Structure 1
Amino acid sequence: MRLRKCAATSLASVALVAGATAFTSSASAAQRQAAAPHTVQDGGCRTYSGTACFWPNKYGIGTLGEVTDNNSDFTKLYNSTGCKNHNWNDCINSIQNGGTLCTVYFWTGAGYTGRYHSLSLGDAVWDFAAPVSEGGYNDPSFDKSISSNHWCTPR
């Protein structure tokens, strides 16, 4: 009898903690979205997580893509939703450097060719067409044109 009472108490405690966690998570997500238009979705890229992050839409909206290594061809990076051909090539509209060591370079061409945009640790571009002062890059030609990335040096 004692074992059942302990188990019931434990289950009730777990349910209470899970409910509180769910409430806190939803409140935090709502607070983050209300705080600024440049806030990524819950579970988004975290600074110093070791990844370069990108999304198919402006302001970090849509399926999150993350890479930790150099990638010379984004057609090989699978994405099940949000991008044509189910890969990240020419699909990205916002980027963030969540790395731990250095700048990440996003290239418009495969094999680190074309033009690149460098992104320092913790920086993000939420709208390539917007002015830099508004979290942009002031260059709409980068919208949906990224095809490779390289860490620390351009190549």
Structure 2
Amino acid sequence: MKKSLVGAFIATSATFLGLASPVSFAQTGMPQPPAAQQPASPAPDFNDARDQHTALKWYLQRTFDAVDTNHDGVIDRKEWAAFQEKNLARRRAAFERHFKADDKNGDGTLSRAEVQASEPWLAPHFDQADLNHDGQLSQEEVRAYIRRLRHAAYALDNPPSKP
């Protein structure tokens, strides 16, 4: 009996406090955090087209600024070549790092078991990637297979035009 009365009292009090709160805020206004704590502008959540457009603009500007090393607003051949070389070196290093991590026994090649364990996207295509049919994938064979995939995807996206 006591528990039900206490519960009813708490529920009733909460209801009255809930009804009174909007009135007090309406009279005094919402308390505002100090200006230093307010964010300058909300970060986009990238869930709608406007935010995605903003993200694309930021990406393009950052990329342009990275390529335009002398900041003259123009990308010349020298800047473009330097950017491409740096990008290619970064991609090669990442590939080699991943390959080395996948090569659990450290023999410099990937066995079928290593590929199945660490690169499930490649496992079904192991025989196609294994050009010399030795049951192992070298870095060169994996690179060649990835190049063939990219060329095939490019061909699908860019069919030859009719004369």
TM-score (norm 1): 0.28
TM-score (norm 2): 0.27
The structure with the larger Rg is 2
Q: Which of the pair is proportionally richer in helix?
A: 2
Q: Which of the pair is proportionally richer in strand?
A: 1
